[in-house]
């Protein structure tokens, strides 16, 4: 199987590709899409093929897809970029890639998304069937553009469907979505950066986490799982981090004001992982940030 991976120079992608390469069977190939040859050199040294191009350029995308059987789209413009860039990369780029993949004969497409697409909490863990609802402190072009990409890509799905109570197998591309919690680990600066928000939260306000090793585990399960059904899967660990714990894990004094604040939405960003556990056998290697700390994997 030849798998094309995008977004490989970002915090998630550059940690995912080595793990995917270690997972591939003899005869399998991993190809990475980068904007220039130099940025692809570290992946070539690990055994990946390198394709040079831009996600927003359809010609280079089509060239990169040549012979590909599967795609893992990690490319993203994160929070803080201009809105037009977020829409161009997160929605338009993803849909350009998805349509080109379908037209090129790709059989499986894995899209990396975020649990921020859910928006406001529902008074319970969020599930993959919940519709996006605008609201919450981190809502904006990043999460909105990711939500529209999810919908647009799932519309391209042509794998297993249930018709008149029977499972039928389409002839085209199967689409799966992996919605990530707040990613950390392997030296990723996100854990320290979380304090820019946590310092202003209530002490018991929670942030759902997932280690890079478990991101890779989850995405690889989506990529290789048997069958061709479409689906969205939340990927997270078992123990959301409180604002107090975020300071403790970073070795920073807890601001005195946290104790007097109230969490406005206790279920914001807290997602259920029952689907990926039950259907794909996912179990976090690092069930909590503290487990990762004790293993020296922060």
Of the candidates 98, 128, 157, 131, the one whose C-alpha atom is nearest the C-alpha of residue 233 is 128
CA triple 216-133-160, angle to 5 deg:
50
pLDDT at 135: 56
Dump pLDDT digits (tens) for 234-256: 999 999 999 999 999 999 999 99
Q: What is the pLDDT of residue 295?
A: 98
What per-residue confidence (pLDDT) applies to 169?
62
- The answer to whether residue 246 sits within a structural domain is no
Distance, in Å, from the CA atom of 114 to the CA atom of 21, rounded to the nearest integer, reads 24
Other CB atoms within a 10 A radius of the CB of residue 129 amount to 7
Domain for residue 248, yes or no?
A: no
Q: Model's pTM, two decimal places?
A: 0.93
Q: Report pLDDT for 110.
A: 98
Assigned domain for 23 exists: yes
How do residues 257-266 score in pLDDT, each as one tens digit?
A: 998 999 999 9
Position 216 in a domain: yes
Total number of domains in the chain: 1
Q: What is the CATH number of the domain that holds 75?
A: 3.40.50.720
In a domain? residue 265? no
At residue 125, the pLDDT reads 97
What mean pLDDT, rounded, does the chain reach?
92
pLDDT band, residue 213 (cuts 50/70/90): very high
Band (pLDDT 50/70/90 cuts) for residue 134 is: low
- Considering the domain boundaries, does residue 194 fall inside one? no
pLDDT value at 282 more than 90: yes
**What's the DSSP call for residue 284?**
-
Is residue 21 domain-resident? yes
Tell me if 58 is assigned to some domain.
Answer: yes
Domain of 162? 2-187+211-236+271-284
> What is the C-alpha to C-alpha distance for residues 52 and 194, in angstroms, rounded to an integer?
33
How many angstroms separate the most distant Cα atoms in the chain? 60
């Amino acid at each position: 199987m030849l798998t094309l991976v995008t977004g490989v120079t970002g915090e998630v992608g550059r940690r995912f590709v080595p793990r995917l390469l270690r997972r591939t069977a003899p005869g399998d190939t991993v190809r990475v899409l980068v904007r220039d040859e130099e940025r692809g050199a570290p992946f070539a040294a690990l055994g990946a093929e390198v394709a040079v191009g831009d996600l927003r350029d359809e010609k280079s995308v089509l060239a990169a897809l040549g012979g590909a059987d599967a795609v893992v789209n990690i490319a993203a413009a994160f929070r803080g970029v201009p809105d037009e860039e977020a829409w161009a990369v997160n929605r338009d780029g993803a849909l350009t890639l998805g349509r080109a993949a379908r037209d090129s004969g790709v059989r499986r497409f894995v899209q990396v998304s975020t649990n921020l697409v859910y928006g406001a909490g529902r008074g319970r863990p969020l599930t993959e069937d919940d519709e996006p609802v605008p609201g919450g402190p981190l809502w904006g072009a990043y999460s909105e553009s990711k939500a529209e990409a999810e919908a647009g890509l799932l519309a391209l799905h042509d794998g297993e469907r249930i018709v008149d109570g029977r499972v039928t197998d389409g002839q085209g591309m199967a689409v799966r979505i992996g919605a990530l919690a707040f990613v950390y680990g392997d030296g990723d600066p996100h854990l320290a950066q979380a304090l820019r928000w946590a310092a202003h939260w209530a002490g018991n306000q929670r942030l759902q986490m997932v280690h890079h090793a478990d991101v890779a585990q989850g995405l690889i399960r989506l990529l290789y799982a048997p069958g061709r059904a479409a689906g969205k899967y939340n990927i997270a660990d078992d123990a959301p981090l409180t604002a107090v714990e975020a300071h403790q894990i970073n070795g920073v004094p807890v601001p005195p004001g946290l104790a007097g604040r109230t969490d406005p939405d206790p279920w914001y960003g807290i997602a259920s992982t029952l689907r990926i556990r039950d259907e794909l056998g996912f179990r976090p290697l690092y069930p909590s940030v503290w487990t990762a700390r004790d293993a020296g994997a922060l």
